[in-house]
Structures are given as C-alpha cells and as structure tokens.
Amino acid sequence: MRRLSPAAGFLAALAVLLTSGCRESKEPRLYRAPKDMPSPLAGGGHDHDHDHDHDHDHDHPPAGPTWVLPAGWQRLPDQEMRYATFQVDPADPKLVVVVSTFGPESGPVLPNVNRWEQQIGAPVSSEADLGKVVTRVDSNGLRIESVDIRGPAPAGAEEGVRMLAAIIPVPGQVWFFKFVGAESKIAAHKPAYDAFLQSFSLDGGKAPPPDGPAAPVPGLRTYTLPAGWTLDPAPRDMRVATFLIRGGGQEAEVIVTSLPGEQSGTPEANVNRWRAQVGLGAVADLAAVKREAVAVGDVQGTVMEFGGADEPAASGKAIVLVQARRGGSVWYFKLIGPAALVAAHRKALVEFAGSIGFGE
C-alpha cells in the first residue's frame, strides 16, 4: 500500500474540509414561519419560542415597544431568541408569556396557527376554519391577530392545554406573543393577558414604561395603574376619579370617592345601598357581611364584596369595594360591573389600593 507523504496528507485533508464546507453552504435555508421548541407541558422546561436565525429588516427598523405590565407579573432575565419573557404567577414558574419578533416573512397567520396547533395536539385548522380560532383586534393603531386554541391533556396530566397567542405585523417585522399552559391556569390569567396584549404599542423607540401613575388624580400623589384600566378624563360629580375596564365586550368601572368623615353615612346605610346597586336585598345584621383587612396606601382599610360567587345577584352584577379612613376623610374605591369581569379584577383593585401614595 502506497503511503502519502505528510505534505500530501495535509493537502488531501484540506481538500476534504473545503469540499464538505462548500456542500453545506449550498443547502437551501427556508424561512416559512418562526419555529418553537416543544411546549413545556409536553417536554418540560421553558418554551423557547422560535429557534431559527433572525432575519430582521434593518433598513427600516420599527419603533420600540411599550406596554403596561399587569399587577404581579415579573420580567425574567433575557433569553436567546426572545424579546422578553414574563412570569405571570410566582407560584408557577413555568407559566410565562413570551414575546418575540422576527422578519416580515414570518407573519402569515395560517402556517403559524397550524404550527401552534400541532405543538399542543390540537386539530389543524384549514383556511376556512381560521375564523374559529383567530380574532382580529385593533388596538393602538395596530392590527392584532389574536389566537385561542385548545389541545388534549398531555400524558399524565388531568386537563387539556390552552394556548393564547398573537401575531402583530408592523413595517419591517412581526411581533409574536405566546401564552400556553393548563386550561384552568390560562383561563385565570386571560383577562390580564388580554389587557397586556392590547396595551402593546410602538411609539418611536421608547423603552417599556416602569410601573407608575398614568395620569394625575386629585389627592393621590402616586399609584400603580393595573393592566387593562384606563383613566376616564371626563369629570363626574362626587367622584375623585373614574377608571374604565373593558374585556370580552363588557365594561366595568372603578369609582374613587373621598368624603369628609361626617358625610360618609352610616355603615348600615352604605352596605345596603351597595347591595341595592347590584340587586341584592337589604341586611339588618352587618356581621353577615364579610370583611377583609387590606392596605390602602399608608393606612389600613377593608374590602367587601357584593354579588360575588358567595352571593350572586340576579342582575349579573357585582361590587368589590375597598374603603379606608385617612385623617378626616373616608376613601372609597368601588369596582362595579358584570360579575365575571369584576371577579377578574378583584386582585388588581386590592393591589391598586395598596399602591397608593396619598397627597398631603
């Protein structure tokens, strides 16, 4: 057998390397839609949304995003291939909302929906069926394709999987939102997710705003505005402020009032007036009214509920009310509206009251 000289052997090896490199570089690279890693329910761990190369249009960079972060959500450290990751429940670290952005060619709705359906084992939608799982939402001048799909329970799980996702095309790129988990967990956080999604906007490159007041309110030096709440600029008699909450085609209000202590009425009269506002009858014994101590700024207050799950009203309405005495005034924060929407924002109301910094 003929032996190659060291120099000849080196050249032969180099030729092999160069040839193999050329073959690899000629393989086609298809970019149809951003790929996701397997769902955390199927394979464990976090869901790494999109695993291919970025193909952003750098010639026409879009404006930077802003959003309103829901109460209790926490932004996690940056991860590769994600713009941002948010933990929605500290008790469930794997329950996260992932925000990603990719090139404009990644935006067709049907391929993305089909890919997500396959990830959770859901039936694959046809073009004709797309309207059953995709809803068009217009918010902040953006077109949002909002996706809601369900799949069967993974092996060993007791309930099915639900995925909320969104596709937001803008000049030069497409934004993706994705929120996947057990059906009951997704349902519990859907109002906050919807509000977060609809708060998304592009305003010329500003960073996401820190938590804080959206607008001044008389008597409140600072406060943290919950996701999905907007301050009604129209003045109302006897009100310090009114916040509007919209969701699922419904609307609720948070009414802020402050009265001198001597004008605040008796506890019996107040409770029965609030009960009447949701269609409940009067009570003679206030001991039957459940109260819970809560923080209201730098003072202690109480929260009460009328027409909730413990005592539903035929009207379908409910009230959650936080009240507190500070100095010579009594402050009231009343959340009133459809029972389901009120229940979804009960926690936000309590956190809002706790975030308040009273003006002197």
220-358, which class in CATH? alpha beta
Rounded distance between C-alpha atoms, residue 27 and residue 120, angstroms: 30
Convert the pLDDT of each residue in 270-294 to its tens digit.
Answer: 999 999 999 999 998 888 888 999 9
Mean pLDDT of the chain: 80
User: Domain extents for the chain?
Assistant: 74-199, 220-358
Q: Has residue 39 got a pLDDT over 70?
A: no
55 neighbors 102 (Cβ within 8 angstroms)? yes
Looking at the predicted structure, is the pLDDT value of residue 59 above 50? no
What is the per-residue pLDDT for 203?
61
pLDDT band with cut points at 50, 70 and 90 for residue 359: confident
Q: Is 293 or 204 the better-scoring residue by pLDDT?
A: 293
Whether 244 shows a pLDDT value over 50: the answer reads yes
- Lowest-confidence pick of 72-81, 109-118, 343-352: 72-81
Identify which of 126, 97, 105, 136 has the alpha carbon closest to the alpha carbon of residue 34.
105
120: nearest Cα among 225, 219, 208, 47: 47
Instruction: Give CA angle at 98 (203, 148), nearest 5°.
Output: 100
Helices (H) and strands (E) in the chain, counts: 7, 18
Would you identify the CATH topology of the domain 74-199?
Answer: Protein Transport Mog1p; Chain A (3.40.1000)
pLDDT value for 215: 64
220-358 has the same fold as 74-199 = yes
Residues 82-133 pLDDT 10s: 999 999 999 999 999 999 998 888 878 999 999 999 999 999 999 888 889 9
